[in-house]
Amino acid sequence: DIVMTQSPDSLAVSLGERATINCKSSQTILYSSSNKNYLAWYQQKPGQPPKLLIYWASTRESGVPDRFSGSGSGTDFTLTISSLQAEDVALYYCQQYYTTASGFGQGTRVEIK
């Protein structure tokens, strides 16, 4: 099984500042024949289902603000919120879909400092 580990577990960032969340997979999730990383990021607010933000490690889902960006390759990935807004307070999860047995990171809570 591929294990996904996020860091930190939580972070507090001032409004307008940058928030960075890391995600590490226990083995590569880069599919060499397509050169695509099978990595997605989700945002979950209280009482709501997760919302897809990023897929293929760096492609924003339609309608997602451009302050959200994804980067990384192989086993190390990053979700960056370039200028934190109040509505970005949420839990964030990474997910690998490289294997049919999909797996998620443990989540990172983002709060306002």
Partner 1 sequence: VQLQESGPGLVKPSETLSLTCTVSGYSISSGYFWGWLRQPPGKGLEWIGTIYHGGSTYYNPSLKSRVTISMDTSKNQFSLKVISVTAADTAVYYCATGVMTLAASPGPFNFWGQGTLVTVSS
Q: Residues in the site for partner 1, rule: CB under 8 A? A: 1, 31, 33-34, 38, 40, 42, 48-52, 55, 61, 93, 95, 97, 100-107
Closest approach of partner 1 to the CB of residue 88, in Å: 19
Closest approach of partner 1 to the CB of residue 86, in Å: 23
Structure tokens at 73: 């390759």
Q: Compute CA 58 distance to the chain's CA centroid, rounded to the nearest angstrom.
A: 10
Between the alpha carbon of residue 109 and those of residues 2, 87, 99, the distances in Å are 22, 13, 26
Given the complex with partner 1, which of 28 and 61 has the nearer CB atom? 61
Closest approach of partner 1 to the CB of residue 3, in Å: 13
Strand partners, 79: 21, 70
